[in-house]
Every structure is written in C-alpha cells, then in structure tokens.
Structure 1
Amino acid sequence: MIWLSWRQFRLQACVAAVTLALFAAYLLYLGTDIRDAHASALTRCGRGGDCGQIMNQFQSGYQNTLLLLAAGLGLALALIGAFWGAPLVAREFEAGTHRLVWNQSVTRRRWFASRLAFTVLAGAITAGAAGALLTWAAAPVDEAAGNRFSTVLFGSRDLVPAAYAVFAVVFGAVVGLLVRRTLPAMAITLVGFLAFQFFVPNVIRSHLMAPQRTTLAMTAEAVNQARNLGNFSGDAVIGGITVPGRPDAWVSRTSPLLTADGDPLEKSAFNACLDDPPKTDTRGTFGDTAACLGGLGLHLEVDYHPGGRYWAFQWRETGLYLLLSGLLTAFGLWRVRRGPS
C-alpha cells in the first residue's frame, strides 16, 4: 500500500517540492534583507535618532509583504485540503478502482488509513517547513511590531501551520468519503476549511485560556493612542487599545466606553464629541475629539492575554486541530467499514 500510495501521489509531491524550494529561496532573500534593514535601524537608533519612529518605519516597510505571505500560506493550506485530501478517496470511488483493492487481501480500513497517513505526513512536512521559513524570515519585524497574536500572522508562524495542514487533508478525505465525487468534494473542502479558519481565530482562540481583565481610564492621551473610534452603528466604542506596560499583549475584548457609574456612554454624547468637539487645539490622532472624550471621566473594561502566553496558545491550538483530525479519522475509519461497496 505504501508503494501504491507513493505512485499515485508522486506528481503532487514533486509539485510541492518545487514550490517549497522556490518559496524557501525567496524567503532566504527576504529574511536576509529584513535583517540588514533591522541592523541599519538599530544603528540609527544608537546614533540618537527617534528610535520609535525609526522602528515604525522599519516594520511598515515589510508589513504588507509579510501579511500577503501569511495570507498566501493560509490559502495554500486550503488548497492542500482541496487538491490533496478531497480527491484522495473520492477519485477512487468515482473511478470504481476501490473495488479492485477491496477484493484483495487489503481491508477497507487499512486502505483508507494508509492512503490518509501518507498524504497527511506530506502535508504536515510541507506546511511545517513553509511556516518555519516564514517565521524565521519575519522574526525581526514580528519582534518590532509586537503583534504575534494577529489573526492572520498567528496562523502562519511556528507550530500551527503543520496542524492546519493535517486537519485540511483529513477533512478533505472525509468529505470525499461522504460525497464520493471529486469536484463537489474539492469545492466543499475549500469552502469548509476557509470557513473554519475564520471561525477558530475569531470565536474559539480567545477561549483556549482564561483572559486577564483590567480597567483603563480613557484620558485624552489614551484616546489618542487608539486606532479607531465608533462603528457603523454609531456606538460609543474604541478600537486598537493597548494595555499599558504590556505592548505585546493580545486584547481579546473591549467594552464600550463606560461612564464613572459603569453605564455605557450615550450615543448622543459620543457623537457630539466626534462631530462637534469644543476647540482646544489638542494635538494627536483625534485631537479635540480626544480632549472632549477625555473630559467625560470615561473608562474601558479590557480582557487581554499577556504576550508570554503566545507559545501556550500555539500548543493549545495545535492540539485542538490534531484532536479534530483524530476524531475525523476515527469517523472515516468507521464510515468506510460501514459504507456500501
């Protein structure tokens, strides 16, 4: 079965090897360039320049490139599930070749397990190597930016890409086992995996560990350090808050702006500061609006995870995906044994 699996998978393996080699060559170039730019930025800092501005310029110069690479890796994982996992079993059923194997001494479960194990291993190695290369290349920028918990970046660094690939292949194989047609199985796998990749970081990830909670006074200075004010509904909310003394912390939940009594700020008062604040010539991102809100005695309740929890989240999310992959594999082994010939 191993030799048969290799014979059927060798084209995909060759394509993956060539793609990974090209990706590695580009990341080696990019990583070297990033390290040269980082060393130059540190030198300018040591000469008495504005270090904060210098490091911001350094990270902004590579931010978009690294974001595109992270998003591209996420899409590649979805394609691994669709093009490696989904046809793995569906193509055999569609062509009827599964009957030839089942009429030999190979059992259905052994057939399914051997086909799945070979492809899962290939996917984990490919994704793990790509994630490790991207992690190495982006390390100086990630350190300067302090945003390793970012939704897109977190999923392209260190351990989790390999676990995502394992889940993508297993999910695709099980979908193919149930649908038994290659193209529908590929489409379902692609859409389902991408939906799951959106659901986990936005709904599940923050609950993998209990957050810490703090209260932040919303002075004019604190408001000016935020990234955005308000939303489409006109609610009294503020976004892009950092926890003082913990710039690398992941803020997972932010309450609306609260008054001294703990009640949400009225929309009318919030919009008055946004649309027609008193003229105070306050400088900063939001200027007079920040001064107006800062004078209302407001505060926020913030849930956050310290930056030191990064590796704990990596291990827990890796474990979550491997657990789900194991459950899907068990279901597939049960289904292939109970399913029709």
Structure 2
Amino acid sequence: MTTLTRDPARTAPAGSLRNSWIPRLGGPVWLVWRQHRAAFWTLIAVMLVGVSVMAYLRGQAMDFLAAQDPDSRRLGGLPSEFETHVDRLHSIGSYLGFVPVLAGVFLGAPLVAGDLETGTAKLVTSQSVSRTRWLITKLVVPAAVLALSTGMLTAVFTWWWRPLKGLSDALIWTSLFSVTGVVPVAYALLTFTVGVAVGLLLRRTLVSMVVTLGIVVAIEFAWSEVWRSLGHVMSINTDKGVGPGLVPPELPDQAEQQGQGTYFLTGSGDRLDWTTCLDQMDNDRAHTACLESKHVIGWSLDYLDVSQMQAMQWLGAGAMFALAAAVATFVVLWGRKRLL
C-alpha cells in the first residue's frame, strides 16, 4: 500500500536527489519538512539576512569607536554621533523581541491545528506512523529550526552589543536582558510549544492563533514583572550623614537601581522612605533637625549589578526550557489519546 511516509530515497529520481538541499530525509521528518517548508525557509532566510545586517552594523560601530580617542570611551564621553549606533542596536533588539510572539502565533498555533482542521492528521495516522511518533516529529523538527534561527540571531546580536555596553545610558544591560544570551531561544521555544498545545486543544487554526497571541502577551507581561527577581539585590550604605553638601553614593558602573530610589539609613539599621521630612526641605536647619530626630546617619541604595546578568539569564532560561518541556510532554500525552 502506498503510504505518506515512504522513504523518498526509494521513489525520487537520482538526479533530483543529487540536487536536493535536504538529503536523506525520510519518514515523518520528510513529511513535516514538506508540510512546513515555507515557514522553515522563511525562518532560515530571516536568520541569514539578520545576521548579515547585524554583522555589517557592528563593523560600522567598531570602526567609529576605533576612530575615537581611547580616553573618550567612557559613559557620556563619546560624540553625539554614537547615539546613531545606539539607536540601531535598540531598533534591531526591538525586532528580536517579536520572535517569541511570531513563534507562538504563526508557527506553533497552526502546526497541529491546521492538520486537525484539514484532516491531514487523520490521513497521516491512518498510515504506518503512530500518533506518538507523528506528534514528536511535529514538535522536534520545527523546534530545531526555531532554536537554530533564534540562537544565531541572538548570538550575533549579543556579539554586537558587548563592546558597546557601558558606553551609553541607553545600553545598560537591563534594557537588553531579554534579547541577549540564551533567553530568546528559551522564550521562543516556550511560546512555540504553548501555541502547539492551544492548537491541539482548540483544533481551529484562526481561533488558536488569536488565543495564543493573548497567552503570549500574558507570558511577556509576567516575564517583565519577575525577571529582575532572579538576581540578588545588593545595597550601598553610608554613615556620614545626609546634611547639606553631602550627596548619595554613586552606583557601580552598569548597575540598575532597584526599589523606590534612595532610602535614609538610621543608626539601628532601619531604612526610611526618601519622603521622610520632605515637608521641611525648604529649611536646611529644620530638615537636618528632623532627620537627626529620627537618627538618620546616611543613605541606602539597592541595585542589581551587571555581574549577575549571565546567571540570571541562565536561571530564567532554565525555567522556560522546563516549562516548554512540560507543555511538549502534555501535547504528546494528550494527543496520543485524543488527537482525532
């Protein structure tokens, strides 16, 4: 009997195999590639174009820095033209931020829902392929292409950003945390598997895409609220007073201040809100007396240091990988019994 999973090496002409860009693909892998080759080639093309553009822009930025006085390579020390390179970096970074959304809505949601809607799933599983094998292949092949494409884009973007970080306030590490390192790969795989799960449950392509979009937006909001908690908040304290002429301490280079801002530190180690004695700010003597009555001895600032960035990214990515694996397992277990 003719099956959809026949090895193409046995049926295709020899000449066509010699010219094939994907040699020796057979069975469900070949079928999944054929089904979604337009999306896969689009991903690969976007990756190649993106890598080329970023490599070119990085070269321009490095040429600009090479032409500057080495002493000017400090925060705020470069000419205003440097902001052009900063804007380019942020523009590309904002585009990369859409990858998880596109992965979930346009790759994940239609993946299984489309086959259920058109009857392809029933046709395939009536052949020599089990439901479990088909589902695993449907997950693994797109996930591999997505991880490769996203990983290459992120690696080149990170390579572009590293020599520029710390040269502008706009390039502080927290502003690009979610589009550098390993985070985008894990994020894209999570939204992709969520989209597949939604498509499997709803069984309608358009509805699945809309619902997936809402879930991905919710995930993005939750991530933006919690990722800073992955780091260890550090503090700077002073004990030389807070009177006239004294200023709060400076944060380390590339550190991001946390909390509501600067606190007042008391002799007992307690911290008071910066609005303490605010109503007496117009009178230095009265303001000082007010703070002394509350035993204020200095300032206290909370911050996240750039040295924690990589550990925070791997911790967050690890959680996303685990969630993606859990969702993928659900897809396989649920689909094995309720696919058709």
Q: TM-score, normalised by structure 2?
A: 0.77
Residues 255-311 of structure 1, C-alpha deviation per residue, up to 9 Å, x if partnerless?
Answer: 6644747433547x53775xxx579xxxxxxxxxxxx89x96685544433322222
Q: Is the 8 A contact 2:235 2:302 kept in 1?
A: yes
Cα-Cα RMSD: 3.0
Q: In structure 1, what is the Cα distance between the partners aligned to 2:107 and 2:168?
A: 35
Q: State the Cα deviation string for residues 107-164 of structure 1 (Å, max 9, x = none).
A: 22211110010011111111111111111222222242485531x4111112222112
Distance change in 2, residues 1:63/1:222 (3 Å): farther
In the alignment, which residue of structure 2 is the partner of 1:314? Answer: 313
Aligned match of 1:206 in 228, 239, 244? 228
Of 120, 123, 133, the residue aligned with 1:110 is 133
- 2:328 maps to 329
User: Which residue of 2 is the match for residue 18 of structure 1?
Assistant: 45
2:173 aligns to what? 149
Report what 2:25 is aligned to. none
Q: How many residues align?
A: 299
Q: Does 1:35 align with 2:41?
A: no
SS in 2 for 1:251: strand
Contact 2:104 2:213 in 1 (8 A): yes
Q: Does 1:195 align with 2:218?
A: yes
Q: Deviations over 1:70-109 (max 9, x none)?
A: 1110112211221111100111111122111222232222
Deviation at 1:68, TM superposition (A): 2.0
Q: CA deviation at 1:319?
A: 0.9
The Cα shift of 1:6 comes to 0.7
SS at match of 1:109: helix
Seen in structure 2, the aligned counterparts of structure 1 residues 278 and 71 have a Cα distance that, compared at 3 Å, is: farther
The alpha carbon displacement at 1:12 in A equals 1.0
Residue 340 to residue 308, structure 1, CA distance change in 2 (3 Å): closer
Asked if the contact 1:254/1:302 (under 8 Å) is kept, the reply is no
Maintained 8 Å contact 1:37/1:58: no
Code of the aligned partner of 2:90: L
Contact 2:47 2:149 in 1 (8 A): yes
Q: Partners in 1 of 2:261 and 2:90 — Cα distance?
A: 28
Partner of 1:161: 184
% identical equivalent positions:
25
Rate the CA distance shift 1:160–1:51 in 2: closer, same or farther, 3 A. Answer: closer
The residue matched to 1:140 in structure 2 has which SS?
coil
Q: Which residue of 2 aligns with 1:270?
A: 278
Q: Which runs of 5+ in 2 are unaligned?
A: 1-27
Residue 253 of structure 1: aligned partner? 259
Give CA deviations for 1:183-223 in whole Å, capped at 9, x if unaligned.
121122223223312322322x2333443334357676646
Query: SS of 1:253's equivalent?
Result: strand
Distance 1:340 1:90, change over 3 A: closer
Match of residue 60 from structure 1: 83
Equivalent residue letter for 1:186: M
Show the counterpart of 1:92. 115
Asked whether the equivalents of residues 262 and 301 of structure 2 are also in contact (C-alpha less than 8 Å), the reply is no
Task: Indicate the structure (1 or 2) with the bigger Cα radius of gyration.
Answer: 2
Which SS does the other structure have where 2:319 is aligned? helix
Choose which of 207, 212, 215 in structure 1 pairs with 2:237: 215
In the aligned structure 1, how far is the partner of 2:134 from the partner of 2:78? 55
Counterpart CA distance in 1 for 2:73 and 2:122 is: 71
Secondary structure in structure 2 of the residue aligned to 1:55: coil
User: CA contact under 8 A between 2:76 and 2:167: conserved in structure 1?
Assistant: no
Alpha-carbon separation, structure 2, partners of 1:298 and 1:3 = 71
SS at match of 1:167: helix
Q: What is the alpha-carbon distance in structure 2 between the residues aligned to residue 79 and residue 271 of structure 1? A: 51
Cα deviation, 1:30-49, whole Å, max 9, x if unaligned, reads 10111011122344x2xxx6
Deviates more, 1:157-166 or 1:136-145: 136-145
Distance 2:298 2:116 in 1: 61
Which 4+ residue blocks in structure 1 deviate beyond 6 angstroms?
A: 217-221
Runs of 5+ unmatched residues, structure 1: 226-241, 280-291
Tell me if structure 1 keeps the 8 A contact 2:263–2:301. no
Give the 3-state SS of the residue equivalent to 2:77 in structure 1: helix
Label 1:52 to 1:82 Cα distance change in 2 as closer, same or farther (>3 A): closer
Q: 1:23 to 1:333 in 2, by over 3 A?
A: same
Which of 113, 119, 125 is matched with 2:142 structurally? 119
